[in-house]
Structure 1
Amino acid sequence: MFDESKKLFEEAKKYIVGGVNSPVRAFKSVGIDPIFIKNAKGAYLYSEDDRQFIDYVSSFGPNILGHANNTIVNKVKAALENGFTYGACTKAEVDLAKRIVETFDSVELTRFVNSGTEAVMSAIRLARGFTQRENCLKFKGCYHGHYDGMLVGAGSGAATFGVPTSKGVIEDIAKHTLICEYNDFDAVKKIFQDYGHTIACVIVEPIAANMGVVLPKPGFLQFLRDITYQYNSLLIFDEVITGFRACYGGIQTLENIKPDLTILGKIIGGGFPLAMYGGNRDIMSLVSPEGPVYQAGTLSGNPIAVQAGIATLDMLKNTNPYNQLKLNTQILVSRTMGLANTYDIPLSENSFGSCFTFFFTENKPTNYPEVLKSNERLFKNFFLGMIKRGIYFAPSQFEANFLSTAHTKKDIEITINAAEEIFKELKDAKFIV
């Protein structure tokens, strides 16, 4: 089906490490070569093999208005005529920052950067500079980019310092990251009892979306807010994925919780490389040139990305598509779950707003170990069956999927019908591959 993509992948491996520029694109967990995309429009991707796909990856989140939205395209075209990058200040970056500050009660000052990883790295440095403490607490399964201090796993014991999970991350860096299970109140309490005076910050995805979607237990986010207040640590919400996904704002808006620092990305750049960290004035004023915490970037606040972000946020605010996005997601998820039950396929789901993950396990996962109980072989069959039928899901059991305003009821119906065909095949054959 994908002869042209296969040829391109073989060529890519001669010049690009692994043939890809980000690991999940290698499609290793689903056992096929990557599909090379030629162009996209609305809810659809078109491959170099001249295949059309209904796209639920949405570039892993930013394309909430669909691919190549005409309003964003026109805004970017106009910006391109004025030059691509200046290494200087622009009115547009002020306009975007103003929109973000007006949206988030927790954010008084912002700093734009180019990626979520860069924003995380800068926010944690800032938290350490503000608190004069060294350690950071993160949660298993929450991904915060490839910054050295976040590429860590748990050591032995219930409450331990991190150990490197990637070559090139030295132990002296990893040991300053503490690890807990997501949603584990008791483990967080124990870590703070033992190390609270050393913890600069807690960083968390308020809804985890990088081990697949995993929802916080009731009260968990407020518990993190309370315990960080108690120990004079900072709370960082990584809303790179969740920001502007479930409402105009982030999960902190829905939950009425004010973190000390917020990280945004993806949607605020309208599909262009753009991210931000921000917080209250006292903390953010420590960032250079106002204070001693250094961070800089030639392309930060790039005028093209900023204009795409302005166009995206303005459309989201003016059209308020969130109720319809949530309804469409619920229809897709609930009917697919009903079909899985009909055909005795072990399936659960977690979803919020327009974001969802199907887990091939009977129980809804609430943390990373429970996510790992998913049947990856069943997922692989599901993914390959969908690709065969022209439906593009994330190529890993441990990723989120997304709806956009461009998805139609017909797209959703086609997807549900394809799921039924696959579940029937799985029931009849148990495993196809």
Structure 2
Amino acid sequence: MIWGEQGHEEWELANPMSGIFRMGQGTREGRCQSRMMSVVETSQAASSKRFISASKDPLRYRPSETIRLYPAPMDTVSKELFERARMSIPGGVNSPVRAFRAVGGIPIFIQQAHGSRILGADGTEYIDYVCTWGPSIVGHAHPTVVRAVQEAATRGLSFGAPTKAEVVFAEQVRVRYPSIDRVRCVSSGTEATMSALRAARGFTGRDLIIKFEGCYHGHVDSLLVKAGSGLTTLATPDSAGVPEAMAATTLSLPYNDLESLEKVFAERGDAIAAVIVEPVAGNMGCIPPKEGFLAAILSLCSKAGAVSIFDEVMTGCRLAPGGAQERYRLRPDMTCLGKVIGGGLPLAAYGGKASIMSVIAPEGKVYQAGTLSGNPVALAAGLATLELMDDLAYDRLEYLGDLLERGLRSALADRGIPGCVQRVGSMLTLFFHPGPVERWDQAVQADTKRFAKWHAGMLSRGVYWPPSQFEAAFLSVAHSEADIESTIKAARDAMEKL
């Protein structure tokens, strides 16, 4: 990343995918043939300053390839690829939400991406708000991250042995998260939550876990559950293949419902091993915690001898350098991290108090291992990403998030459509529900059919929004004001058809 200050003249991309740039108010124009430059304002107060990043040929299109501008015709290339995929891959995708079933369409197959833009298999360009479901906080193919990956790869793809990068990464996590004394690397968010629960059970000698409806913690058997008929009824499986006995070790309570949580602790506090929570829910849409809810979880756990676990796979290093716990000034017993910390590669981690983490083998008797844990290439991407995310970057994300939130709210109001926009930092959801949405049973009342129509309208206007009413959208520092303006216009126009 290069700090650039051009005085009264500011560099601006005329077309982020073409390499054409302008200076100032269009008084000069040139073509960047060998390097792509992306320029974004860092704050409202410093309008003449820009983050300028450059990479050699980040999108190497052949001369015959054309970037199709929206609205695009039917993506026959993705349709053909999806049909082929269904013959070899369950459902045609490697993660269910990618199938677009919630919005009734054909998934867009992606060939490459740079900055805030992705390029579909048919050559159509989209402004991306999925951001790899969160990790791409510095934008796609950021040159600093790409260079770090390339350099690490030349030294070896994997060793199955300790490396200096593991030590540096662990130290960086501890700096950002004062609640973490010790941290262990794994390869996915699911591994992180699964391992954290095992550690909590090993530490407390208890089995019962409390989670909250609508919060997703990976495809861990004991966490793929839904609430029973009463608040203290043992949970039942929410997925085929999960044994009833496994689900019976979990209680599922309404998110943001402190009264229900207090009741369970009063009745069964001495049996509870841990409470795991998304501090900001992102898998039922973006739902912030009510004031006092998270603090109460920590307090109740402390009094009962249970372990409080913040699942910050989504919020970690996204809402602030220290994630949600920095934003809300809280220190849970354990934390799960993923997504952003890997810079787009498979890397996750779990950590916490030294007394709890000491139960992990080889120091303790709780076993957890992984062939690719602490992969050096993934660590290189993660460390490069974390280095780029300074205070100015988070200020930038907050500024962009505010612009997008206000624009979407205005579009809903102008069109007279019942809806609300809920945002925390650089993650947000437009609910087709009058709001506010504070828990799962309210989220599911959203008009998913209207969302599906709106989503199709956004795609046709070149905006790649998460293909589910219940998935948060994300921003990156690579998004520009022009991206936000285009997105708001697309949202407003798409709503006209509803």
TM range, normalised to the smaller chain?
A: over 0.9
The corresponding residue for 1:85 is: 158
The corresponding residue for 1:401 is: 473
The corresponding residue for 2:129 is: 56
Unaligned runs of 5+ residues in structure 1 are: 427-433
**Cα deviations by residue, 1:313-358 (Å, 9 ceiling, x for unpaired):** 11113x6311121111111111211121111111101111111000
Write the mapping of 1:18-417 to structure 2, written as runs, cut at 5 A. 18-317=91-390, 320-417=392-489
How far has the Cα of 1:386 moved from its partner? 0.3
Runs of 4+ in 1 over 4 A off after TM superposition: none
The amino acid of 1:344's aligned partner reads: G
- Inter-partner Cα distance in structure 1 for 2:465 and 2:252: 30
Query: Does the residue aligned with 1:144 lie in a helix, a strand or coil?
Result: coil
With 329-338 and 287-296 compared, the bigger mean Cα shift is at: 329-338
Query: Does the residue aligned with 2:136 lie in a helix, a strand or coil?
Result: coil
Query: Does the residue aligned with 2:102 lie in a helix, a strand or coil?
Result: helix
- Inter-partner Cα distance in structure 2 for 1:388 and 1:139: 36
- Inter-partner Cα distance in structure 2 for 1:31 and 1:80: 40
Taking only the aligned residue pairs, the percentage that are identical comes to 47
User: Does the 8 Å CA contact 2:109/2:120 hold for their aligned counterparts?
Assistant: yes
How far has the Cα of 1:395 moved from its partner? 0.2
User: Does the 8 Å CA contact 2:137/2:476 hold for their aligned counterparts?
Assistant: yes
- Inter-partner Cα distance in structure 2 for 1:420 and 1:291: 57
The amino acid of 1:294's aligned partner reads: Y
Counting matched residue pairs gives: 425
- Inter-partner Cα distance in structure 1 for 2:326 and 2:480: 28
- Inter-partner Cα distance in structure 1 for 2:387 and 2:435: 39
The corresponding residue for 1:423 is: 495
Greater percentage in helix: 1
How far has the Cα of 1:158 moved from its partner? 2.3
The amino acid of 1:235's aligned partner reads: S
Unaligned runs of 5+ residues in structure 2 are: 1-73
How far has the Cα of 1:159 moved from its partner? 2.1
- Inter-partner Cα distance in structure 2 for 1:252 and 1:421: 38
- Inter-partner Cα distance in structure 2 for 1:250 and 1:340: 30
How far has the Cα of 1:425 moved from its partner? 2.2
Query: Does the residue aligned with 1:321 lie in a helix, a strand or coil?
Result: helix
**Cα deviations by residue, 1:191-221 (Å, 9 ceiling, x for unpaired):** 1112111100000000101111001001101
- Inter-partner Cα distance in structure 2 for 1:320 and 1:238: 25
- Inter-partner Cα distance in structure 2 for 1:256 and 1:12: 46
TM-score for the superposition, normalised by structure 1: 0.97
- Inter-partner Cα distance in structure 1 for 2:488 and 2:226: 37
Query: Does the residue aligned with 2:211 lie in a helix, a strand or coil?
Result: strand
How far has the Cα of 1:259 moved from its partner? 0.5
Query: Does the residue aligned with 2:389 lie in a helix, a strand or coil?
Result: helix
**Cα deviations by residue, 1:13-32 (Å, 9 ceiling, x for unpaired):** 11111110000000001111
How far has the Cα of 1:312 moved from its partner? 0.6
The amino acid of 1:227's aligned partner reads: L
The corresponding residue for 1:430 is: none
- Inter-partner Cα distance in structure 1 for 2:203 and 2:186: 20
* Correspondence 1:13 to 2:86: yes
TM-score for the superposition, normalised by structure 2: 0.85
- Inter-partner Cα distance in structure 1 for 2:84 and 2:468: 24
- Inter-partner Cα distance in structure 2 for 1:335 and 1:269: 31
User: Does the 8 Å CA contact 2:408/2:421 hold for their aligned counterparts?
Assistant: no
